[in-house]
Amino acid sequence: MRKKNEITNNQHDHQIEHLDFFQIVDHFFRSEPLQQFINELDSMYEGSFPQKAIHVNTYETDKKCVIDMQLPPVKKEQIKLELIDQYLTISITNREEINEYNETSSTFRSYSSLDSLSKTILLPYRVEEHEIKTTFKNGSLLVTIPKKSKPILLEDESL
C-alpha cells in the first residue's frame, strides 16, 4: 500500500496534499484495477441482449397499418405478442444456463441468467386477434393490421 504522499496527480505532478477532493476521486476511478473491474461489469451486462431496445417503425398504406420492429437476436419461441384492447405488447425472454463440471479437479461452475424486454404499442383502433398478421425474419418482426376506416366524403352545401 502506498503512502499518501507517494500518490501524485499525473497531469500536474503535484503531491496528493495539494489535490482537492474531486481530483482524488477522479484519480481513484481512473486507476487501472478499478477500471478493469468496471470494464468487466459492463461486458457482463452486455452479454445476453447486445441490443437493449426494440426499435419500432410504423407506417400505413391505403389498406393496412404496418409495425416493423427490429429485435435483438432471438428465436421465434422467445417472442410473445399480446393484444389487450388497443394495446399490442411484445415481450422477449432470454434464459441462459451454463453448467460446467470438471471431475479431475473437483470443480463445478453454474451460471444462469434471465433477461427480458418488452414494448407496448398503442394501435390506431381496436382490432381482433385474428385480423393481425405477423412475419418474423432476420431479427425483424412485421405486424400488419388491416385498416377499418373508410374516408368520409364531404358534401357541398347548396343554398
Output the domain CATH number for residue 112.
2.60.40.790
Best CA proximity match to 65, nearest among 149, 139, 153: 149
* Amino acid of residue 56: V
pTM: 0.53
Q: How many domains does the chain have?
A: 2
Helix, coil or strand: residue 89? strand
Same structural domain for residues 92 and 117? yes
Higher pLDDT, 47 or 142: 142
Look at residue 27 and tell me whether its pLDDT is greater than 80: no
Same structural domain for residues 60 and 136? yes
Look at residue 55 and tell me whether its pLDDT is greater than 70: yes
Best CA proximity match to 61, nearest among 158, 144, 156, 4: 144
Does the residue 63 lie in any domain? yes
pLDDT tens digits for range 13-24: 445 556 677 777
Residue-by-residue DSSP string for 38-57: HHHHHHHHHSS-SS-S-EEE
Sign of the dihedral defined by the CA atoms of residues 124, 127, 129, 131, in that order: negative
Same structural domain for residues 35 and 81? no
Higher pLDDT, 96 or 76: 76
Q: Residue 46's pLDDT band (boundaries 50, 70, 90)?
A: low
Does the residue 68 lie in any domain? yes
What residue numbers bound the domain in which 32 lies? Answer: 4-46
Q: Residue 81's pLDDT band (boundaries 50, 70, 90)?
A: very high
Question: How many Å apart are CA 43 and CA 64, to the nearest integer?
Answer: 41
